[in-house]
Amino acid sequence: MTHNLPAVSHVSSRSVSLIGSSEAFKRGLAAYNAKNYANALTEWKTIAEQGNASAQYNLGLMYDTGEVVPLDYAEAMNWYRLAAQQGHAKAQSNFGLMYHKGKGVLQDFSEAMKWYRRAAEHGGSKALYNLGLMYDNGEAVSQDYVKAVKWYRLAAEKGHALAQYNLGYMYKNGEGVPQDYAETVKWFRLAAEQGDSDAQNNLGAMYDTGEGVPQDYAEAAKWYQLAAEQGDADAQLNLGTIYALGHGIPQNFIRAHMWFNVAAIKGEPDGVKGRDAAAKQMTSVDISKAQTKAREWTLLHGPSLV
């Protein structure tokens, strides 16, 4: 089972480290929150060069995201390394992620694992999740679903949405744990309630098929809708199907055609098939309405958000 790696957190007034008591650090934080990024960079760079780990971490984030300074993964690696070597947990996690993804450095799963473990000692949910991911995919270690479940669970219990989704997936497939659809639903729901579109779509599918919960098409449609609105192509196909069949919601071929078409615009072959099948049940006027709705949705949301 292969899952996408999470992106490094974007710099924001919430994600910028608050650790550090120097006046220069505080001035940098005030400048950052006032969107005076040049001053923030100046203040933090001065004390980062003097060894302030929090300032080093924040500089790493700036160069990693390129939101404040030109994107420069090598420079990000430099500042993450300095902070990580001082025991800064978030820097250790992001430093590991750079090795994991090969950003600013040659990809090295062993180095990634080393730094994730150091960050995990501080209880960071991202590091715990990424350790689970490495055992899940057999990166730097032999594939081991039992250990993947262990790390996913630790991260999931701290509220990490991707870990919750992956843990649910492990229960669904019986990987590292006995297959248990009730546990699957539990973890999918926790991730879905945080807005994870994969979890929302898969929770909808559990209600659609009645696995782990009583079959409930209306509840399935609700979760498909939430994921579809985020741009999840699988959910768009599922929502189109539910509209076409009239399961849990009134049958509506205009809506079915619209969602199939939105998925088709992304290049989904099943979207084309569903759209064409729905069109056979529709008048030319209704087809035109559905096409307009699909165009409007795509213009508003973009062809692909997920």
Give yes or no for residue 4 having a pLDDT over 50: no
The range of the structural domain enclosing residue 159 comes to: 123-194
Q: Residue 136 has what pLDDT?
A: 97
Average pLDDT over residues 70-81: 96
Tens digits of residue pLDDT in 93-131: 999 999 999 999 999 999 999 999 999 999 999 999 999
Q: Are residues 143 and 187 in the same domain?
A: yes
pLDDT in tens, 224-250: 999 999 999 999 999 999 999 999 899
| pLDDT at residue 2, rounded to an integer | 41
CATH code where residue 143 lies: 1.25.40.10
Looking up tokens 């939430």 gives 226
Per-residue pLDDT band for 22 (boundaries 50, 70, 90) equals confident
Please report the pLDDT score of residue 17 as a whole number: 53
Identify whether 134 is part of a domain.
Answer: yes
Domain boundary among the residues 115, 138, 158 is at: 115
Contact 154, 128 (CB under 8 A): yes
Q: How many domains does the structure of the chain reveal? A: 3
Domain boundary among 136, 163, 194: 194
| pLDDT tier, 305 (very low <50, low <70, confident <90, very high otherwise) | very low
12 vs 197, higher pLDDT: 197
Distance CA 265, CA 248 (A): 26
Residue 73 within a domain: yes
Distance CA 263, CA 240 (A): 9
For residue 179, the tally of other CB atoms under 10 A from its CB is 12
Which tens digits make up the pLDDT trace of 197-230? 999 999 999 999 999 999 999 999 999 999 999 9
pLDDT at 168: 98
Residue 5 has pLDDT above 60, yes or no: no
* Residues 62 and 98 grouped into a single domain: yes
